[in-house]
């Protein structure tokens, strides 16, 4: 067994304290210790983006981040995107455009789109495609996903 | 099974160096290589895991006189947007634009890319072209090693167990310096290079001098190509010189055949990308 590390960080606006094995990934910590099951594991190698979360204003693959490295950071997951008023405009655009098929890639797509639009509020079609190049949709529903992100940018 | 007995997250270079002096340790920065390599069993953890991400003095790009320091924790994304890089070392931004995906660029550090010592490590190739030096710190002192003397084989370098790479130093290139970077894989994103090339030099009145040429993924380590540099030095950058340089470049390398490309194809890519960059800068 690896040494345990006590960490404290902010996730979706709430301060959390957990004790994690030193070799655990942030993804496993979020899913198994905090019961935040929105971020998904698909490839486990950083190629697919299904586990994308936002850490201190940068999107990362949580499967490759050490849970212990969350200490002191501010983290946003798909569970924190919805507001009391309802869906985030990006989520709403995914619904409106029919951009969700099996749904497995959707949390990662929404988080990466959120990060991209925060950096570049007026993306071109090319910017959207490049921004999402680290996210795979195995249903291959990219057209509607790109349209949803474009709609979210307009709204 | 993992055997990490001790986890440390020092906030200064001094504390990290002291921790490294205390016994065998594994360093982690962004974790994008380490998590995968330990997960697959390719690498095992030392008893102590040292997370260096809290050492803020190791992140960022600064210019002191004619020397630019890129801190080891600077991310690939930082290279895309930094004003010093854009003005003085633009080929590093060109490289960053061809690196992985946004999520991986956000997590990947320059120090990790160098210390992972992959023959295909993308940032290494333009840094060889810019004649970078790595800065290594141990509790006993600091030393600088030219990047082209740093690598000893795939995954191997001259860094010692008690040393931390704190950054790279690059001299501001001379006036009139132009360069480029090319990387080839089956698709534009998330690819390990089948071959990569960086060429630079001072271009004045159509003549190129102070030529530096570097290749990735065609030898056990990223390399400088002295032969190609000689073929170009002091020459007029016309069609004849460029095609001759492409020929020298492709015959100067001795790549392997593997699942990603044959040796023939890698040599072909080296020629084409060398010629493309020379056409761009001429
Ligand atoms: C999906 C995917 C795509 C990728 N695409 C590319 C690509 O296009 N091009 C490319 O070149 N690479 C690519 N990589 C590889 C990887 O992302 C890079 O090598 C990255 O720069 C590593 O940085 P890191 O901070 O994550 O390193 P880590 O994984 O934290 O560390 C890597 C190694 O370096 C050591 N180390 C780290 N920092 C230091 C330091 N300061 N001093 C001493 N030792 C240190 C660690 O002990 C470890 O052995 C990719 C990886 C993934 C998962």
| % of chain B at pLDDT higher than 90 | 96
- What fold characterizes domain A4-79? Ubiquitin-like (UB roll) (3.10.20)
Answer yes or no: is the ipTM higher than 0.95.
Answer: yes
Query: Would you identify the CATH topology of the domain B6-51?
Result: 3.30.43
Pairwise CB contact (< 8 Å): A134 & B53 = no
**pLDDT confidence of residue B189:** 86
Phi, psi at A153, each rounded to 5°: -65, -35
Q: Which residue of B has its CA nearest to A3?
A: B5
- Tell me if A134 and B38 make a contact (CB, 8 A cut-off): no
Residue-level pLDDT at B38: 97
pLDDT by residue (tens digit) across B47-81? 999 999 999 999 999 999 999 999 999 999 999 99
Specify the CATH class of B57-170 in words. alpha beta
CA of B87 to the centre of ligand 1 (A): 26
Domain boundaries, chain B: 6-51, 57-170, 177-281
3-state DSSP call for residue B96? helix
The reported pLDDT for the residue numbered B90 is: 98
- pLDDT over 70 (residue B1): no
Q: What share of chain A has pLDDT > 70, as a percent?
A: 100
CATH assignment of A89-154, among 1.10.3470.10, 3.90.800.10, 2.40.50.140, 1.10.150.120: 1.10.150.120
CATH superfamily of B177-281: CO dehydrogenase flavoprotein, C-terminal domain (3.30.390.50)
Range of weakest confidence among A93-97, B19-23, B184-188: B184-188
| Ligand 1 midpoint to CA A95 (Å) | 37
Tell me how far apart the alpha carbons of residues B69 and B64 are, in angstroms, rounded to a whole number.
Answer: 8
pLDDT of residue B276: 98
Q: Do B4 and A22 touch (CB under 8 A)?
A: yes
- In this predicted structure, the answer to whether residue A146 has a pLDDT above a threshold of 60 is yes
Ligand 1 contacts CB of residue B10 (under 6 A): no
The model's pLDDT over A71-110, given as tens digits with 9 standing for 90+, comes to 999 999 999 999 888 999 999 999 999 999 999 999 999 9
Angle between helices A89-96 and A106-119 (to 10 degrees): 130
For residues B69-96, give the mean pLDDT. 98
User: How many percent of chain B have pLDDT more than 70?
Assistant: 99
Cα–Cα nearest to B27, from B169, B166, B170:
B166
Please, which pLDDT band fits residue B188 given cuts at 50, 70 and 90?
Answer: confident
pLDDT at B44 over 60: yes
Alpha carbon of B182 to ligand 1 centroid (Å): 20
Predicted local confidence at residue B3, as pLDDT: 84
pLDDT (tens digit per residue) in B191-212:
899 999 999 999 999 999 999 9
**Partners of B164 in beta bridges:** B137
Look at ligand 1, atom 28, and give the residue with the nearest C-alpha.
Answer: B31
Ligand 1, pocket-test mutation among B33, B70, B115, B195, most atoms within 8 A of CB: B33
DSSP state letter for B15 = H
CATH 3.10.20.30 residue ranges for chain A: 4-79
**What residues of chain B lie within 8 A of the CB of A60, using their CB?**
103, 106-107
CA of B165, closest atom in ligand 1 = 42
- Please give the pLDDT value at position A83: 84
> Which among A52, A49, A94, A41 is positioned nearest to A75, based on CA atoms?
A52
List, by residue range, all CATH 1.10.150.120 domains of chain A.
89-154
d(CA B121, CA B125): 7
Mean pLDDT of A21-37: 98
Contact: B35, A52; criterion CB under 8 Å? no
Indicate which atom in ligand 1 lies nearest the CA of residue B124.
11
- pLDDT (0 to 100) of residue B127: 98
Q: Single out the residue of A123, A116, A118, A114 nearest to residue A91, CA to CA.
A: A114
Residue A117 sits at the vertex; the CA angle it makes with A15 and A137, to the nearest 5 degrees, is: 90
- Give the model's pLDDT for residue A69: 98
pTM of the model: 0.97
* DSSP assignment string, chain A: -PPEEEEEEEETTEEEEEEEETT-BHHHIIIIIS----S--SSSSSSS-TTEEEETTEEEETTSSBGGGGTT-EEE-GGGTSBTTBS-HHHHHHHHTT--SS-SSHHHHHHHHHHHHHH-SS--HHHHHHHTTT---TT--HHHHHHHHHHHHH-
């Amino acid at each position: 067994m690896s040494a345990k590390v006590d960490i404290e960080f902010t996730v979706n606006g709430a301060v959390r304290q957990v004790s994690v094995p030193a070799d655990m990934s942030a993804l496993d910590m979020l899913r198994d210790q905090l019961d935040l099951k929105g971020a998904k594991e698909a490839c486990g190698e950083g190629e697919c983006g299904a586990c994308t979360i936002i850490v201190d204003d940068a999107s990362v693959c949580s499967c490759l981040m050490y849970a212990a490295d969350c200490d002191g950071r501010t983290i946003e997951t798909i569970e924190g995107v919805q507001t009391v008023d309802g869906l985030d405009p990006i989520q709403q655009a995914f619904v409106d455009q029919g951009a969700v098929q099996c749904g497995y890639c959707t949390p990662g797509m929404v988080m990466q789109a959120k990060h991209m639009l925060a950096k570049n509020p007026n993306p071109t079609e090319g910017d959207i495609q490049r921004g999402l190049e680290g996210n795979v949709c195995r249903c291959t529903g990219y057209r509607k996903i790109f349209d949803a992100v474009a709609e979210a940018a307009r709204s | 099974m993992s055997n990490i007995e001790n986890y440390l997250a020092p906030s200064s270079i001094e504390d990290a160096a002291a921790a490294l002096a205390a016994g065998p340790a594994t360093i982690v920065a962004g974790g994008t290589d380490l998590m995968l390599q330990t997960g697959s069993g390719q690498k095992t953890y030392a008893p102590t895991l040292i997370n260096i991400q809290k050492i803020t003095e190791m992140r960022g790009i600064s210019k002191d006189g004619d020397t630019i320091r890129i801190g080891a924790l600077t991310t690939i994304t930082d290279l895309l947007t930094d004003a010093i890089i854009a003005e003085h070392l633009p080929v590093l931004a060109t490289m960053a634009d061809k690196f992985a995906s946004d999520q991986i660029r956000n997590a990947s550090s320059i120090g990790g890319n160098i210390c992972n010592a992959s023959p295909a490590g993308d940032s290494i190739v333009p840094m060889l072209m810019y004649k970078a030096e790595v800065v290594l710190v141990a509790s006993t002192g600091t030393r600088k090693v030219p990047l082209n003397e740093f690598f000893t084989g795939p995954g191997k370098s001259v860094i010692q167990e008690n040393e931390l790479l704190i950054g790279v130093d690059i001299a501001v290139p001379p006036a009139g310096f132009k360069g480029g970077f090319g990387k080839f894989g089956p698709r534009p994103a998330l690819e390990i290079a089948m071959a990569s090339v960086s060429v630079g030099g001072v271009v004045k009145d159509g003549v190129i001098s102070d030529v530096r040429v570097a290749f990735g993924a065609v030898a056990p380590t990223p390399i400088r190509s002295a032969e190609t540099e000689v073929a170009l030095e002091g020459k007029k950058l016309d069609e004849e010189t460029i095609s001759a340089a492409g020929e020298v470049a492709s015959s100067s390398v001795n790549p392997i055949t593997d699942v990603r490309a044959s040796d023939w194809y890698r040599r072909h890519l080296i020629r084409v990308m060398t010629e493309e960059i020379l056409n761009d800068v001429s």
